[in-house]
Amino acid sequence: MPRISAATVADHRAGRHAALLAAALEILVAEGPAGLTPAAVGARVGLARSSVYRYFSSTADILAQLVEDAVPRWRARLAGVTSGPGDLRGRVREFGAVTLSFVSSPDYAVLRAVVSAELPPGCRVRLDELHETMITPLRDVLAEAGHEHPDLVAHLGWSILGEGRRRLAAGADPEMVRETTLDVLCRAMAV
Please name the helix (run of DSSP H) or strand (run of DSSP E) that holds residue 38, with its range, or none: helix 38-45
User: Rounded to 5 degrees, what are φ and ψ at 122?
Assistant: -60, -35
In this prediction, residue 159 carries a pLDDT of 97
Give pLDDT, residue 113. 82
* Angle between helical axes of 121-144 and 150-169 (0-180°, round to 10): 120
Q: Does domain 60-188 have CATH number 1.10.357.10?
A: yes
**pLDDT tens string 3-51:** 666 677 787 788 899 999 999 999 988 998 889 999 999 999 999 989 9
Residue 7 confidence (pLDDT): 72
Burial tier of 121 (Cβ tally within 10 Å: 0-12, 13-18, 19+): exposed
The reported pTM is 0.83
pLDDT of 116-133, one tens digit each?
Answer: 777 777 777 888 898 899
Q: What residue segments make up the domains of the chain, in order of their start?
A: 1-56, 60-188
Task: Return the CATH fold of 1-56.
Answer: Arc Repressor Mutant, subunit A (1.10.10)
Answer yes or no: is pLDDT of 182 > 70. Answer: yes
